[in-house]
Amino acid sequence: MFVKLKQRWNVNNTNLVLIFFTFALGGSLCGYLGRLLLSVTRLESGPAGVILYIIIVTLLWPLCVLLISILLGQFSFFRKYLEKVWARLSGKKNREIIKVAIFASGAGSNAEKIIQKFNQPDRNTNKAEVKSQGEKGPKAMITLIVCNKPGAGVLQVAKSANIETLLIDKDRFLKGDHYLPILKRHGIDFIVLAGFLWKIPAGIIQAYPNKIVNIHPALLPRHGGKGMYGAKVHEAVIAAGDKQSGITIHYVDELYDHGNVILQATCDLGEDETPETLAEKIHLLEHEHYPALLERLLQNVK
């Protein structure tokens, strides 16, 4: 039971103990104050007293628990806990957090910028928590990093941000269950590709219709398709004599770099442009536009 609670609440052993103490002390304080207030009404006995006591305790319990949680350093956990309870009671499920998985194969610079946009460290649990994004739509949080390369830089990015990782095998990903049971177990609602080099199988696309997006370092439909990634794209752009390049953010379908375009941003090529200098320009566009666009897209996820 304790192991399941730790996993469900994303807390360590120390915080789990403090959470139990908060529940116990908060409940005791609530009961004491409830009896004290009831004595003032002179309705301590009889059905009316029982009903009034239940009402008083119900109203006092959240306040008592929050007070104790401050003293024990668990305020962040209980604030979110009570928000979830209120959301269930009021039926406001549309305000629940959208859980996002980032698929990446490389250094993870785009993943890092996206994480900075949506997540921030939780000092109490040493985990990541949702970053406030206003009241325009549901809040989103990066909760899983999926990677196909052991030792890829994005795994260190995930570790630094206290985000869980999933290292995947090609046969299972392309020909097996596509790791869908694990994605569902993590409650993933949306998938972001950030330098992920494998083609997304049809099974995942069907499971997440219009909920998978990718960023390509060129202006599609030019310089896209199988094998076109990283420096190869920039080399092709320069070899073609293009005067402009840029980024394309698009929905993912069964073909490489083919889904409906959501946004394109451009940059000019200089006379002495090299793949390295062009890559720097593209990175600036990626970091500027990808996190901001994802924030807008995720506000409309259902």
pLDDT, tens only, 67-105: 999 999 988 888 878 877 877 776 555 447 899 999 999
CB contact at 8 A, 121 and 128: yes
Q: Which of 4-18, 85-99, 265-279 has the highest mean pLDDT?
A: 265-279
Q: Which domains does the chain have, with CATH numbers?
A: 2-90 (no CATH), 97-298 (3.40.50.170)
Least confident range of 44-58, 100-114, 197-211, 269-283? 44-58
Between CA 102 and CA 109 the distance in angstroms is: 12
Q: Which residue has the tokens 């196909």?
A: 148
**Length of the chain counted residue by residue:** 302
Of 123, 117, 194, residue with least CA distance to 153: 194
Average pLDDT over residues 127-133: 55
Q: State the pLDDT confidence band at 261, using cuts at 50, 70 and 90.
A: very high
- The pLDDT score that the predictor gives to residue 125 is 45
- The pLDDT score that the predictor gives to residue 254 is 87
Percentage, residues of the chain above pLDDT 90: 64
Between CA 144 and CA 43 the distance in angstroms is: 54
Between CA 127 and CA 5 the distance in angstroms is: 15
Task: Determine the distance from the C-alpha atom of residue 117 to the mean position of all C-alpha atoms in its chain, rounded to a whole number.
Answer: 10
- The pLDDT score that the predictor gives to residue 280 is 96
- The pLDDT score that the predictor gives to residue 134 is 47
pLDDT, tens only, 149-205: 999 999 999 999 999 999 999 999 999 999 999 999 999 999 999 999 999 999 999
Q: What residues are annotated to the active site?
A: 216
This model's pTM is above 0.75 = no
- The pLDDT score that the predictor gives to residue 85 is 81
